Amino acid sequence: MDLDADLTGQSVLITGSAVAARRAVRRYRAAAADVRTVDCPANFRTSVLDEVLLVVAVDDGDPGWAPLVQACRLHSVLLVREQAASPGRHIALVGGGPGPADLLTVRGRGALREADVVFYDRLGPVADLDQLAPGAQLIDVGKTPGHHPVSQTDIQAQMIASARMGNRVVRLKGGDPYVFGRGGEEVAACAEAGIPVTVVPGVSSAISVPGAAGIPVTHRTVSHLFTVVSGHAPLTDPELEHLAGLGGTIVVLMGIGTLPQLTNGLLQAGLRRDMPVAVVERGFSPHQRTTISDLSNIVSAASKCSNPAVVVIGEVVAVGRAAGVQSEIADLTAAMLRS
């Protein structure tokens, strides 16, 4: 049974060893309760039950806690049981998905609930972190294009140092850790440092953000493959030629800054000038916006667009429009045809 109770200022007794009970302690303190702790049965005195509203019995494996249940009954004190916190000295790389907390996976939520420390990026479910990881230390290590206040090397060093202190650490990223999230580098750093690490997949914006705009990245008889490209750095001429020759759908993440070079390169490589293109900004947010044009005109159409954005190039954009997808900026190509 899950209870949502206002415990502000209420006395709560948490029993169990310090390591096992640390998750419960920080969660109830985050709820503004007056938390008291008893770390072993030998230190427990039944008189304390006259002063508390609730007892949280953490299962630390010590059979000496058995009389606590009867003592709570005799003193008419509510008792709830809780599993011990997961062992520390561990790092989990968690994919936070495209932003809303309800698109975070169940396993991702569980990892955040267990976290002692969370190192988070600016994308993902950051607005809800105090509820997702109650009482955890939250450390912002987010980057924006051209501005990296905390280097990747420093992020990895801080994560490892925190885990070595006995903490259960979560590295929370937007999307999926292994889709342009530098998750591979962080796993390698953890392995080199001898720190156990797990990876929790997340919903990638490469698929979900086009979907939020009604654009499928694949569609039967239209596109049977899609290619995901990082837009952080310009592609080389051979890469552009290969990309244009693959066919299917091209999905570009964080590609606003390199959009002129990308579109010009694809045109030079032979991709059709009238190939439909969509730019979906701030997917799943209240300010989501879709701009649709074609390959030869999208740079002009998207002149006021900014990251975070996902660029979709391919006939699937037309499929989305045919299904009723509405762009908030008029299609410049259609406007020119009407004029």
Residues annotated catalytic, as ranges: 121, 143, 254
| Residue 72 identity (one-letter amino acid) | C
For residue 174, give Cα distances in angstroms to 41, 120, 201, 202. Answer: 43, 9, 10, 8
User: Which residue, among 119, 124, 122, has the nearest Cα to 157 in the 3D structure?
Assistant: 119
User: Which residue, among 12, 39, 14, 11, has the nearest Cα to 24 in the 3D structure?
Assistant: 14
Residue 44, φ and ψ in degrees, nearest 5: -85, 135
How many beta carbons lie within 10 A of that of residue 163, not counting itself?
Answer: 23
Locate 52 and state its tokens.
Answer: 């508390």
End-to-end CA distance of the chain: 64
By CB atoms closer than 10 A (0-12, 13-18, 19+), residue 104 is: buried
Query: How much of the chain is in helix, strand and coil states, percent to nearest 5?
Result: 35, 25, 40
To the nearest 10 degrees (0 to 180), the angle between helices 237-246 and 259-268 is 70
